């Protein structure tokens, strides 16, 4: 039997991948969503007590209301919401299925996964960026005490921890672990905390640093990590700090190698921004599209759920002129 050819295969079952699936279903397309992890895998891996910067209505997709207890929903509420969206729209989703390669033959893309081979006229990459952390590239970073992901504060009770970073993740981790009994030192490369730190949190962290409850080294960076300490380079010279754990909240980046292997090209800029048509989100490869944070390259703070939901409509409206 000749293998069925999908109108659209969507890689990534995050909020934007789900939004693409909803728009594909509205158009009557033969579509499928695939993800190597669970539904909205990135949100699942957020810290347990994380609260979104956005209000709930800005996270809505598919005209399904998002009702949260507070004005800003938390991780548990978001997981419940997106499960409800997937069920409401009866979306076709395959979870825990890794995409290994995409081969283009004529006008059809052959997608090889860990479980199956699919043929699709169009492929949407809505893959996010949470899988590859920015590394510090220092001696000792491979030690078990170094974590690039954070879930909850309890394991760090009565421990000396270093939090690396100056953005929301680092600030949240520093405050939460300190409140649960950790001795916290922040290592910050810049002279100040990021301006993007949540406005209702920023005074809290600034006051904790000012009173000395949380120690902070500004204009500083880690140069070496050992089993029981770490060395940092400060404006006053090298300082050695006793340490049990390092929580490197240094951010994450998209998988550029996967995109480059497909033949997607990139602008010659510092952000490694992929080349795509901003009216259709189609890349230089006919039938391969980008959606969500994947469009921003290293600028992972450019596209969020609330401002990239429109990508789903742009892509599917364009496909409706072809299919």
**Taking a C-beta distance cutoff of 8 angstroms, is the pair 131, 124 a contact?**
no
Residue 186 CA to residue 201 CA, distance in Å, equals 16
Same fold, 5-132+252-320 and 135-248: yes
pLDDT band, residue 73 (cuts 50/70/90): very high
**For the chain, what is the mean pLDDT?**
94
Q: How far is CA 122 from CA 109, 110, 288, 295, in A?
A: 7, 10, 6, 17
Residue-wise pLDDT for 91-118, tens only, equals 999 999 999 999 998 889 999 999 999 9
CB-side neighbour CA atoms (13 Å) of 65: 2
Rounded percentage of the chain residues whose pLDDT exceeds 70: 99
Residue-wise pLDDT for 155-210, tens only, equals 999 999 999 999 999 999 999 999 999 999 999 999 999 998 988 999 999 999 99
Residue 256 CA to residue 300 CA, distance in Å, equals 13
Superfamily of domain 135-248, CATH level 4: FAD/NAD(P)-binding domain (3.50.50.60)
- How high is the pLDDT of residue 2? 53
pLDDT reading at 1 higher than 70? no
CATH topology (fold) of 5-132+252-320: FAD/NAD(P)-binding domain (3.50.50)
Q: Which run of H or of E encompasses 174?
A: helix 168-179
Nearest alpha-carbon partner for 12 in 294, 300, 308, 261: 294
Residue-wise pLDDT for 22-48, tens only, equals 999 999 999 999 999 999 999 999 999
Residue 51 CA to residue 39 CA, distance in Å, equals 19
Q: How far is CA 53 from CA 85, 183, 223, 240, 273, in A?
A: 21, 26, 32, 35, 25
Q: Which run of H or of E encompasses 77?
A: helix 75-88
Per-position b or e across 33-64, b if 16+ CB within 10 A of its CB: bbbbbebbbbbeebbeebbbbbebebbbbbee
Nearest alpha-carbon partner for 93 in 171, 29, 11, 28: 11
The token pair that represents 67 in the structure block = 């009702």
Q: Which residue has the tokens 């969503």?
A: 33
pLDDT reading at 296 higher than 70? yes
Residue 323 CA to residue 319 CA, distance in Å, equals 6
Least confident stretch, 43-57, 205-219, 304-318: 43-57
pLDDT band, residue 298 (cuts 50/70/90): confident
Domain ranges of the chain: 5-132+252-320, 135-248
**Taking a C-beta distance cutoff of 8 angstroms, is the pair 107, 287 a contact?**
yes
Find the mean pLDDT for residues 120-126: 97
- How high is the pLDDT of residue 107? 87
Residue-wise pLDDT for 148-165, tens only, equals 999 999 999 999 999 999
């Amino acid at each position: 039997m000749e293998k069925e050819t999908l109108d659209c295969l969507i890689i990534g079952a995050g909020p934007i991948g789900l939004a693409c699936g909803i728009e594909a279903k509205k158009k009557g397309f033969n579509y499928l969503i695939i993800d190597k992890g669970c539904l909205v895998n990135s949100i699942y891996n957020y810290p347990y007590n994380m609260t979104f910067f956005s209000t709930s209505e800005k996270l809505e997709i598919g005209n399904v209301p998002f009702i949260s207890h507070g004005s800003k929903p938390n991780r548990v509420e978001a997981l419940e919401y997106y499960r409800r969206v997937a069920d409401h729209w009866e979306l076709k989703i395959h979870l825990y299925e890794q995409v290994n390669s995409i081969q283009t033959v004529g006008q059809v893309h052959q997608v090889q996964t860990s479980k199956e081979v699919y043929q699709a006229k169009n492929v949407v990459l809505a893959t996010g960026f949470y899988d590859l952390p920015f590394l510090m590239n220092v001696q000792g970073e491979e030690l078990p005490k170094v974590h690039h992901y954070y879930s909850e504060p309890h394991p760090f009770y009565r421990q000396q921890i270093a939090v690396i970073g100056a953005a929301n993740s680092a600030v949240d981790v520093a405050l939460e672990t300190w409140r649960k009994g950790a001795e916290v030192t922040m290592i910050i490369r810049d002279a100040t905390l990021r301006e993007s730190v949540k406005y209702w949190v920023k005074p809290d962290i600034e006051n904790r640093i000012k009173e000395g409850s949380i120690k902070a080294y500004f204009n500083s960076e880690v140069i070496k990590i050992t089993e029981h300490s770490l060395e940092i380079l400060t404006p006053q010279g090298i300082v050695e700090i006793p340490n049990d754990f390092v929580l490197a909240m240094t951010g994450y980046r998209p998988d550029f190698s996967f995109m480059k292997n497909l033949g997607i090209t990139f602008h010659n800029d510092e952000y490694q921004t992929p080349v795509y048509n901003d009216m259709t989100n189609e890349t230089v490869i006919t039938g391969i599209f980008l959606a969500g944070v994947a469009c921003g390259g290293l600028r992972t703070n450019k596209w969020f759920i609330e401002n990239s939901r429109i990508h789903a409509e742009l892509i599917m409206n364009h496909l409706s002129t072809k299919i």
